[in-house]
Amino acid sequence: MSDFPIEGPVWFIGCGNMAGAILRRWLAVGLDPARVTIIRKSEAPFADGVTVLTAPPPDGAVPALVVLGVKPHMIDLVAPWLAPLLAPETVLVSILAGVELETLRARFAAPAQIIRAMPNTPVAIGRGVVALAAEGGDAHARERIARTFGSLGLVEWVDEERFDIVTALSGSGPAFLFRFIDALAQAGADAGLAADQAARLALATVEGSAALAAGEDESPHELAERVASPGGSTRRGLDVLDQDNGLVPLLRDTLTAAILRNREMAEAARRG
């Protein structure tokens, strides 16, 4: 992305784990660090050439792109000083979980285009997922946003009414998968392997299986069936995962808990 699709200054308001992952990837693929300003409480440096401030730049520059990366409950601390600095041409992107487009528009009147984005942490290596929902902007403007996030991984436009589901599935999904890797390794250790060896085997198994699934035309279900010979050990293990109280209902409950929490945060942000 040596020719970053959005020209002009790029501001990050807050730059924690997720916003930092996005910025590191953009810098890695060619975003000029001289265009980037991080505004946050800490003045700790981020990367060579990136400006870090505790207040807006004193030169009065108008940002072309603003990424809101603070905690969701901080929106009403940020909006009073940030909103007056934005212009109609500013693209405002929020990665605040649970904060809806209507809530953002109520606080930021100027930008013609407000985007709600939900990335996940693998965006740092260009293998992530970014779900997008938009308020404002025509097809060309949305295509430009999709290209802006394209270096991060898979980009999907989603109706905002389903955004909480996507947040739970792909936004929180890496954490759920990391837990699965840990559980697979723990099961191997409990069965008699050395813990460090079980951890290596579990991680390599998940990594290779995911890469295989991504490169095949067959569905993951069909791939599992290909591994499981009738009457074999894999089939016996799948019988446990496939039972009525097995993996699907467990993950359904996991996603439901995350979805409900997203909705609680949206309600809190709506109330202000």
Tens digit of each residue's pLDDT (9 = 90 or more) over 165-196: 999 999 999 999 999 999 999 999 999 999 99
Is 108 within a domain? yes
pLDDT tens by residue, 88-100: 999 999 999 889 9
Residues 6+ apart with CB under 8 A from 127: 153
Q: Are residues 153 and 211 in the same domain?
A: no
Cα angle value 33/36/42 (rounded, 5°): 110
pLDDT tens by residue, 11-51: 999 999 999 999 999 999 999 999 999 999 998 999 999 99
End-to-end CA distance of the chain: 37
pLDDT tens by residue, 72-123: 989 999 999 999 999 999 999 999 988 999 999 999 999 999 999 999 999 9
pLDDT number for residue 8: 94
**Res. 141 pLDDT band, cuts 50 70 90:** confident
Q: Which of 128-132, 143-147, 226-230, 264-268 has the least mean pLDDT? A: 264-268
pLDDT number for residue 85: 96
Residue-wise DSSP of 102-170: HHHHHH--S-SEEEEEEE-GGGGGT-EEEEEEEES--HHHHHHHHHHHHTTEEEEE--GGGHHHHIIII
Q: Are strands 128-135 and 113-119 parallel, antiparallel or unpaired?
A: antiparallel
Q: What is the CATH number of the domain that holds 238?
A: 1.10.3730.10
Strand partners, 135: 114
The stretch 1-7 carries a mean pLDDT of 76
Q: Are residues 154 and 178 in the same domain?
A: no
Is residue 211 pLDDT above 50, yes or no? Answer: yes
Token couple for 179: 């837990």
What is the C-alpha to C-alpha distance for residues 162 and 153, in angstroms, rounded to an integer? 20
**3-class DSSP state for residue 8?**
coil
Q: Are residues 54 and 14 in the same domain?
A: yes
pLDDT above 70 coverage of the chain, percent: 99
Is residue 272 pLDDT above 80, yes or no? Answer: no
- Please state, rounded to an integer, the average pLDDT across all residues of the chain: 94
Q: Are residues 159 and 30 in the same domain?
A: yes
- Please count the helices (runs of H) and the strands (runs of E) in the chain: 10, 8
Question: Residue 89, class by beta-carbon neighbours within 10 Å (0-12 exposed, 13-18 middle, 19+ buried)?
Answer: middle
What is the C-alpha to C-alpha distance for residues 8 and 62, in angstroms, rounded to an integer? 8
Is residue 155 pLDDT above 70, yes or no? Answer: yes
pTM here is 0.89
Residue 254 structural domain? 173-262
Q: Are residues 152 and 178 in the same domain?
A: no
**Res. 265 pLDDT band, cuts 50 70 90:** confident
| Domain final residue, candidates 163, 198, 230 | 163
pLDDT number for residue 1: 43
Contact 36, 53 (CB under 8 A): no
Q: Are residues 133 and 193 in the same domain?
A: no
What is the C-alpha to C-alpha distance for residues 149 and 118, in angstroms, rounded to an integer? 11
Strand partners, 65: 10, 91
Q: Are residues 147 and 184 in the same domain?
A: no
The stretch 215-243 carries a mean pLDDT of 95
CA dist 219 → 9, 169, 214, 224, 263 (Å): 43, 18, 9, 9, 31
Token couple for 169: 């599935």
| Domain final residue, candidates 143, 163, 183 | 163
